[in-house]
Structures are given as C-alpha cells and as structure tokens.
Amino acid sequence: MVERYVPIDTEAGILMGRTVFLDRVDYDYRGNSASLIGTLLSTSEQEFAYELTFLGIVSFSITELDFYEYRGKSAFDEIINSKLVDAFKHHDSARKLSPIHRHFRLIAYDDVFEIACLNFSFSIRRGVTASPSLAAGPGG
C-alpha cells in the first residue's frame, strides 16, 4: 500500500509551511508520552502558544529539516498506510503495538518529528506574545 499524508485540522486550522516554532520538548519516558511546546503562526499571521502531546508512543524521532526528504501536504500530517507502523507489526514480539496506533509527522521550523503513538492532543492559547526565539527571527 502507498503511504498517504493527510493534514490534521487543528484548533488553529491546517498548519502550512514553516509556521511551527518549537521552544521545548518534554518527554516522559515512563509514561510513553511527549509534549511539544512553542508558538505557531496562523494563516492570518496571528501568533498562538501551543502544546501538542503524543500519548502511547512506540517510536519518536527527530530529523534536522535540511536532512529530511519532504513528503506530505502540511506541517502536521497523519501518515496513513505507514511503512513504519507496518514494519512494527512484523517485529512486535512483546505485543506492544495495538491496531489503533497511528503515525504522525510534524514539521517545526528547523526539525521534523515522526511519532508512532496511540493518540495526540493539541491545544492553543490565543493572544500570547511571541517567544523570544520567534521574536528574534530565525537564527536567534
């Protein structure tokens, strides 16, 4: 089957281009969860603080944007018919993978995250000023 990249429609709409800025990653090893926290720009140039939390993680990878071969539709996609999840099905001797595990890809300004997990939550706070890293622009 061919992988399909399906944009995730968030509270801020579909995230396009290099509009997701990352300030912090909190990884809970014991809880198999990770929260990505930062600022994003909407299509109307509004700034929002966001927190994107992935739950039930079985795979978490980060690639520097310059080394990533772009595929997909948006900055935050679900990868349907994921080759990664399919490979895990064939190597899951401990039976940790469930039929509801999903594969997501988030492109932040400089990094690409690929996460295979059970689910995610996305929340924004409107009216938040830009983080110092965003206010300074790319490169600080």
Examine residue 22 and state whether it is found in any structural domain, yes or no: yes
Examine residue 134 and state whether it is found in any structural domain, yes or no: no
Examine residue 140 and state whether it is found in any structural domain, yes or no: no
pLDDT of residue 64: 93
CA 109 to chain centre: 12
Provide the residue range defining the domain that includes 87: 4-125
Examine residue 9 and state whether it is found in any structural domain, yes or no: yes
* Residues 19, 9: Cα–Cα separation, whole Å: 14
Q: Report the domain count for the chain.
A: 1
Residues of the chain under the 50 pLDDT cut: 130-140
Examine residue 107 and state whether it is found in any structural domain, yes or no: yes
* Residues 59, 116: Cα–Cα separation, whole Å: 5
Examine residue 139 and state whether it is found in any structural domain, yes or no: no
pLDDT of residue 120: 97
> What pTM does this model have?
0.83
pLDDT of residue 112: 94
Examine residue 133 and state whether it is found in any structural domain, yes or no: no
Examine residue 75 and state whether it is found in any structural domain, yes or no: yes
* Residues 54, 125: Cα–Cα separation, whole Å: 18
